[in-house]
Amino acid sequence: MEYNFREVEKKWQAYWAKNKTFKPEEKSTKPKYYVLDMFPYPSGAGLHVGHPLGYIASDIFARYKRLKGFNVLHPMGYDSFGLPAEQYAIQTGQHPEITTKTNIARYREQLDKIGFSFDWDREVRTSNPDYYKWTQWIFIQLFNSWYNPETNKAENISTLIEKFKVQSSKFQVGGVEKKYAELSEKEQSDLLLEHRLAYLSDTMVNWCPQLGTVLANEEVKDGVSERGGYPVERKLMKQWSLRITAYADRLLNDLDGIDWTESIKEAQRNWIGKSEGTSLKFKIENSTSEIEVFTTRPDTVFGVSFVTLAPEHDLVSQITTPAQKTAVDEYITFAKNRSERERMADVKKITGVFTGAFVIHPFTGKQIPIWIGDYVLAGYGTGAVMAVPSHDTRDFAFANHFSIDKKIIITPPTEWDFEKNSYDEKEGKLIDSDFLNGLEVKAAIKKVISVIEEKELGKGKTNFRLRDAIFGRQRYWGEPIPVYYENGIPKVLDEKELPLLLPEVDKYLPTETGEPPLARASSSWRKDGKHEYEYSTMPGWAGSSWYFLRYMDAHNEKEFVSKEAANYWQNVDLYIGGAEHATGHLLYVRFWTKFLNDLGLIPVSEPAKKLINQGMIQGVSNFVYRIGTSNKYVSSGLKKDYDTTPLHVDVNIVNNNVLDIEAFKIWREENKNAEFILEDGKYICGSEVEKMSKSKWNVVSPDVIVEQQGADCLRLYEMFLGPLEQSKPWNTSGISGVSNFIRKLWRLYHNGDALNISEEPATKPELKIVHKTIKKIAHDIENFSFNTSVSSFMICVNELTDLKCNKREILEPLAIIIAPYAPHIAEELWNKLGHTEGVSYAKFPEVNESYLVESAFSYPVSFNGKTRFFQEYDLSLTKEQIEKEVMTLEQTQKYLEGKTPKKIIVVHNKIVNIVI
């Protein structure tokens, strides 16, 4: 009888669940190892074969570490707050909680079938009150903290209040200077909000009218929402934000200490966007006001031909001359109504307007016109730039468009056509620049900054592209922000009032007055029955910003994580997930980790030591070709003779591009009477690589594979597809190779139905095969090269089959080393070998190098690098002896063709190369 994977897999999955096999030890003397997957958002579509790719890899690693004697934490949970469940709720009226529960149940069922070694007792769901209680709690800590630049750490806001209370501190309020104690409660609150790490402020937000909510920068792609693809506009709104910018420098610097892929680190560096430069003030002519610009090229100050303000800049209305007022107002209206998408779409289109006002050049005293242009971003730097058209591409384009003068003040080291292009490089000598004349650019930058600082015109400054993270969403299905308002002052709840539960609402839509769905809650949903709660909820990434900590101590009702658990588990040793979270989740989780570390609540400042991004699994769509509007379909190879329409066909009724015609006829009612033009008696479908999606009929579900071939087969095949980090299309046709391998592995231990194990000692060649494989598998796993492992197992089993080897001494270690990859069959074989303890905690076999030592090597003998023949020599021979031996060979003489070799290279255990 063949290997019955259905029975065996079910049996061991039940065994692991019953025995809680994968529960880590509480008080362990073993070294710890924490393997984490990015937890999924449980969507209604269920898992497709792409989802488990990373989970399989991490599971192999976790299982390997257990075999290596580590106490392994390998948990799983659900990121269960989010938009899709809410959109579905809006459409159907069904509570998102119900949809979420159903989806989670489906996910769990699918995950269970694959045989993962998760400790399900630690499952977290971000939408569960006992979890989001602590998300709210962390929010309160953020609210109660400020970032002290002197200690370079977050501290309790009380230390700031102490500073403020010091006699000398004065605050400008409505034009009056007051001491802190003299401020009203509201004034104190407003002042502190400017420092709290969670704060309320008027902010330019990405507003998405269709979704009825604001979005974070990384939730907006190309000016439309990432989810749904709806237009996004800029809007000024009172919003909760998190002061992630306080951590910009640390988020940047600490990247050097973590083992993450270079592409993710680089994406984060770009996103943080540190740039060092200087601020510089320009006095406005006939005014007491000044315009402060930020520039990274203060050396070009003598080349300034105009100053540009962002349309939203505060001074715009103040400085515009009456003559220019109409034009400026028109332009501002234009710029305001232009959506982000439009603005980004025609970046090349130059727009702007002259204000009529001038600034005075700080060094030359000359008049310089002030322009407005939307190429200057309000949110970056000071929202104002000094424009040097000859040495900045954007200023160059603007100056050309509006015919503004350009002044060359750097001589490039090579020929340069200043009519065609600006010269932006930081190389060359300064000219026409007063005290900077003759200096190289880099020296000029240093010099000019010192002069600027000396004259108090500005100072050296660092800017970041990173913005504070907008933390409120005008949506229902998220964590309520634990804030209430008393006389218009935002106050956080007391810890003992948590969790602030999501209230019931009649509809999941904004109110008629445009307030978020939570405003629909009954009037009894009030703090102490009277104060309104905040109506925004937290964004989707709130719960995922700290979940790795909760797994360490998932049921703690007193703390978000206990000191003991946090000290033992530290942080994630191996984190596996998709690269799409590069600047979202992976930045926020680093931020929260640093914050919690500052407060002394956890011992680590980074969430994950090592991060691996698994590649995307794309779908391979299949097409049938319908002739015109008929019900007749022509096979792919013959389609050029007809006028056809390609139609997606369900890939599950296509095998190696051959259509199952009977299945096609019942797939859709209208296909019942379909006719076909075949080639070689088959209908061949066309194919194309596309994103795996329902609408393209190319979704392959892991359930189907597990049902037909087994979980071990799915696991091995997903790994066999190629390097983990590489994206690749899913093609089920190759799976038979892996399926055959599993059967072959089974047969190695059996003779017919019966187990057939020999107790005889193994021979040297047999030992060599298995030890070579042990060494290779350990090396592969430690290097995350799972695809090559599968091929090594195949080689090993093929070789042992050839030798008809069924010796315990060989087959026992084989069962252990394959267990991380194919745990079900490994458990079964291990059990049949007579072990009562499962294979999950067996000891990974040690490599005995002595079995791998060869006594001789068959040297390829090459002439000018071309291999001509092989000659075996004992490895004890020296290079000189081999050289001598080779020269005596008849073959050598033949290829020498009577010539004398110029040189003979002998590389021990490698090659002989004769240079003629």
Buried b (16+ CB within 10 A) or exposed e, 337-352: ebebeebeeeeeebbb
| 347 belongs to the binding site for RNA (CB under 7 A) | yes
Q: Which of residues 637-696 bind RNA (CB under 7 A)?
A: 655-656
User: What are the DSSP E strand ranges found in 40-79?
Assistant: 71-73
> Minimum Å distance from CB 744 to RNA?
5
Torsion of CA 154, 156, 159, 165, to 10 degrees: 120
> Minimum Å distance from CB 162 to RNA?
35
- DSSP-derived letter for residue 406 is -
Q: Is 864 left (phi over 0), alpha (psi -120 to 50) or beta?
A: left
| 889 belongs to the binding site for RNA (CB under 7 A) | no
Q: By the 8 A CB rule, do 125 and 118 touch?
A: no
The residue within the footprint of RNA, chosen from 381, 458, 472, 516 (CB under 7 A), is 381
Q: x/- contact string, 444-473, with RNA (CB under 7 A)?
A: -------------------x-x--------
Contacting range for RNA; rule: CB under 7 A; set: 33-41, 107-115, 766-774, 793-801: 793-801
Torsion of CA 130, 135, 139, 140, to 10 degrees: 20
What type of residue sits at position 402? F
Q: By the 8 A CB rule, do 823 and 12 touch?
A: yes
> Minimum Å distance from CB 712 to RNA?
15
What residues form DSSP beta bridges with 577? 613
Q: By the 8 A CB rule, do 800 and 881 touch?
A: no
Report the DSSP pairing between strands 367-373 and 306-309.
Answer: parallel
> Minimum Å distance from CB 100 to RNA?
27
How far the first Cα of the chain sits from its last, in Å, is 61
The residue within the footprint of RNA, chosen from 14, 377, 666, 852 (CB under 7 A), is 377
Dihedral pair phi/psi, residue 829, rounded to 5°: -65, -45
Q: Which is closer to RNA, CB of 117 or CB of 792? A: 792
Rounded CA-CA distance 675/673 in Å is 6
Q: Which of residues 224-263 bind RNA (CB under 7 A)?
A: 261-263
Contacting range for RNA; rule: CB under 7 A; set: 44-52, 185-193, 413-421, 741-749: 741-749
Rounded CA-CA distance 817/820 in Å is 7
3-state secondary structure 430-457: ECCCHHHCCCEHHHHHHHHHHHHHHCCC
> Minimum Å distance from CB 418 to RNA?
18
The residue within the footprint of RNA, chosen from 170, 221, 401, 507 (CB under 7 A), is 221
> Minimum Å distance from CB 718 to RNA?
11
Contacting range for RNA; rule: CB under 7 A; set: 360-368, 511-519, 552-560, 730-738: 730-738
> Minimum Å distance from CB 350 to RNA?
7
* Whole-Å CA distances, 653 to 4, 50, 350, 685: 25, 19, 54, 11
3-state secondary structure 315-358: CHHHHCCHHHHHHHHHHHHHHHHCCHHHHHHCCCCCCEEEEEEE
Q: Which of residues 565-604 bind RNA (CB under 7 A)?
A: 579-580, 582-583
The residue within the footprint of RNA, chosen from 235, 407, 632, 743 (CB under 7 A), is 743
Q: Which is closer to RNA, CB of 562 or CB of 783? A: 783
Q: Is 320 left (phi over 0), alpha (psi -120 to 50) or beta?
A: beta
Contacting range for RNA; rule: CB under 7 A; set: 508-516, 590-598, 832-840, 901-909: 901-909
| 907 belongs to the binding site for RNA (CB under 7 A) | yes
The residue within the footprint of RNA, chosen from 183, 704, 889, 905 (CB under 7 A), is 905
Q: Which of residues 269-288 bind RNA (CB under 7 A)?
A: 270-271, 273, 275, 277
Buried b (16+ CB within 10 A) or exposed e, 318-333: ebbeeebeeebeebbe
Q: Which of residues 705-724 bind RNA (CB under 7 A)?
A: 708, 720-723
| 879 belongs to the binding site for RNA (CB under 7 A) | no
What residues form DSSP beta bridges with 222? none
> Minimum Å distance from CB 292 to RNA?
11
| 375 belongs to the binding site for RNA (CB under 7 A) | yes
Q: By the 8 A CB rule, do 430 and 410 touch?
A: yes
- Strands of 469-470's sheet, edge to edge? 213-215, 198-208, 233-242, 469-470
| 755 belongs to the binding site for RNA (CB under 7 A) | no
Rounded CA-CA distance 134/141 in Å is 10
The residue within the footprint of RNA, chosen from 145, 206, 279, 295 (CB under 7 A), is 295
Q: Which of residues 304-323 bind RNA (CB under 7 A)?
A: 310
Rounded CA-CA distance 212/530 in Å is 27
Q: Which of residues 795-824 bind RNA (CB under 7 A)?
A: 795, 798, 802
| 301 belongs to the binding site for RNA (CB under 7 A) | no
Q: Which of residues 198-217 bind RNA (CB under 7 A)?
A: 217
Q: Which is closer to RNA, CB of 262 or CB of 557? A: 262
Rounded CA-CA distance 335/344 in Å is 12
> Minimum Å distance from CB 502 to RNA?
30
The residue within the footprint of RNA, chosen from 188, 605, 731, 763 (CB under 7 A), is 731
Rounded CA-CA distance 759/690 in Å is 53
Dihedral pair phi/psi, residue 448, rounded to 5°: -65, -35
The residue within the footprint of RNA, chosen from 297, 473, 550, 639 (CB under 7 A), is 297
Contacts of 910 (CB under 8 A, 6+ apart): 859
The residue within the footprint of RNA, chosen from 53, 304, 719, 794 (CB under 7 A), is 794
> Minimum Å distance from CB 465 to RNA?
3
The residue within the footprint of RNA, chosen from 100, 126, 390, 913 (CB under 7 A), is 913
| 491 belongs to the binding site for RNA (CB under 7 A) | no
Q: Which long-range contacts (CB under 8 A, 24 or more apart) does 733-737 make?
A: 733/655, 733/656, 735/705, 735/709, 737/794
| 374 belongs to the binding site for RNA (CB under 7 A) | yes
Q: Which is closer to RNA, CB of 758 or CB of 788? A: 788
> Minimum Å distance from CB 657 to RNA?
10
Q: Which is closer to RNA, CB of 111 or CB of 745? A: 745
Q: Which of residues 830-869 bind RNA (CB under 7 A)?
A: 858, 860, 862, 864-867
Q: Which of residues 385-424 bind RNA (CB under 7 A)?
A: 385-386, 392, 394, 397
| 787 belongs to the binding site for RNA (CB under 7 A) | yes
Contacting range for RNA; rule: CB under 7 A; set: 42-50, 537-545, 838-846, 905-913: 905-913
| 56 belongs to the binding site for RNA (CB under 7 A) | no
Q: Which of 541, 535, 496 is nearest to 135 (CA)?
A: 541
| 763 belongs to the binding site for RNA (CB under 7 A) | no
| 736 belongs to the binding site for RNA (CB under 7 A) | yes
> Minimum Å distance from CB 270 to RNA?
5
> Minimum Å distance from CB 738 to RNA?
6
Q: Which of 155, 232, 220, 217 is nearest to 192 (CA)?
A: 155
Total residues contacting RNA (rule CB under 7 A)? 88
The residue within the footprint of RNA, chosen from 438, 737, 761, 834 (CB under 7 A), is 737
| 266 belongs to the binding site for RNA (CB under 7 A) | yes
